[in-house]
Amino acid sequence: MPVLRRTARDDRRRSLSQNFLHPDWAERVVESADVHSGQLVLEVGAGPGVMTLALARRQAEVIALELDSVWARKLADVVRGGGFSQVRVLRADVLTFPLPSRPFRVVGSLPFGATTAILRRLLEDPRVPMQRADLIVQWEVARKRSSVPPDTLLGTIWTPWWEFELGHRIPSTAFKPVPRAEACHLVIRRRTPPLLPPSMAAAYGDFVRTWWTRRRGIEERPGAL
Read off the CATH number of the domain in which 119 is found: 3.40.50.150
- What's the whole-model pTM score? 0.88
In this model, does residue 7 exceed pLDDT 60? no
Q: Which of 74, 28, 16 is nearest to 183 (CA)?
A: 28
- Residues 129-167: tens digit of each pLDDT: 999 999 999 999 999 999 999 999 999 999 999 999 999
- Residues 9-44: tens digit of each pLDDT: 544 444 455 799 999 999 999 999 999 999 999 999
Total domains in the chain come to 1
Residue 185 belongs to domain spanning: 10-220
CA 64 – CA 174 distance, rounded (Å): 21
Integer CA distances (angstroms), 170 to 26, 141, 164, 165, 182, in order: 11, 13, 17, 15, 6
5 occurs within a structural domain: no
**pLDDT winner (highest mean) among 3-7, 9-13, 173-177:** 173-177
Taking the mean position of all CA atoms in its chain, how far away is CA 188? 10
Is the four-CA dihedral 155, 160, 161, 163 of positive or negative sign?
positive
Determine which helix (DSSP H) or strand (DSSP E) holds 65, and give its type and residue range: strand 61-65
4 occurs within a structural domain: no
Residue 203 corresponds to which amino acid? Answer: A
